[in-house]
């Protein structure tokens, strides 16, 4: 017996499909798919969430000084003329940053190897590049999902049967994070 479902696809297509669906599950919290795909997604998603739980609090907080451009009331950079040239004015600011420990960094890289980054487009200006931002799903797993499930031993996903699909009567399910 095979160790996984082939889903009627070549290995590269299957890997891309599963990566996409696991990423969307972790980003949105729930997706609708077929039963066979959901069972494969569950295996992968639970491993990623477990990795996130193990490493969610494994970081150091460090205070650093950084140079930040001074901005006016409109949000534009303030420029001064120095020696006949316009130069941006910088202020020094103290910031607290998180510095990953080596095991957390390794876990983040393992997640990034499998998960895609998600582009978030604002609804009011759909179709334009301005205002889009890239969401790192691995960071979301470590910062939000990991601490949420830290007291739970497995069983992070739930599969609920919806019914047969209209076109081909394949059983559709809702897979969601508990």
pLDDT tens by residue, the chain, 178 residues: 578 899 999 999 999 999 999 999 999 999 999 999 999 999 999 999 999 999 999 999 999 999 989 888 888 888 888 888 889 889 999 999 999 999 999 999 999 999 999 998 877 776 667 778 899 999 999 999 999 999 999 999 999 999 999 999 999 999 999 9
pLDDT at 36: 95
Tokens of 38: 């959901």
User: Do 41 and 15 touch, CB atoms closer than 8 A?
Assistant: no
pLDDT at 131: 77
pLDDT at 169: 94
The pTM (predicted TM-score) of the whole model is 0.83
Q: Name the residue ranges covered by the structural domains of the chain.
A: 11-58+101-177, 59-100
pLDDT at 126: 64
Phi, psi of 31 (to 5 degrees): -145, 160
Superfamily of domain 11-58+101-177: Ribosomal protein L17 (3.90.1030.10)
DSSP 77: B
Distance of alpha carbon 72 from alpha carbon 65, whole angstroms: 21
pLDDT at 127: 64
pLDDT at 80: 87
pLDDT at 143: 93
User: Do 33 and 173 touch, CB atoms closer than 8 A?
Assistant: yes
């Amino acid at each position: 017996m095979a160790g996984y479902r082939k889903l009627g696809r070549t290995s590269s297509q299957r890997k891309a499909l599963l990566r996409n669906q696991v990423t969307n599950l972790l980003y949105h919290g729930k997706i609708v798919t077929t039963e066979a795909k959901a069972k494969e997604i569950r295996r992968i998603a639970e491993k990623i969430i477990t990795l996130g739980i193990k490493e969610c609090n494994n970081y150091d907080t460090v205070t650093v000084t950084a140079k930040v451009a001074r901005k006016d009331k409109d949000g534009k950079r303030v420029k001064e003329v120095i020696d006949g040239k316009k130069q941006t004015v910088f202020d020094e600011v103290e910031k607290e940053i998180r510095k990953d420990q080596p095991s957390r960094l390794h876990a983040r890289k393992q997640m990034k190897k499998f998960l895609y980054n998600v582009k978030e487009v604002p609804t009011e200006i759909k179709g334009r590049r301005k205002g889009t931002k890239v969401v790192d799903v691995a960071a979301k797993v470590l910062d939000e999902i990991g601490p949420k499930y830290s007291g739970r031993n497995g069983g992070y996903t739930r599969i609920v049967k919806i019914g047969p699909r209209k076109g081909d009567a394949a059983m559709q399910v809702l897979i969601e994070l508990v």
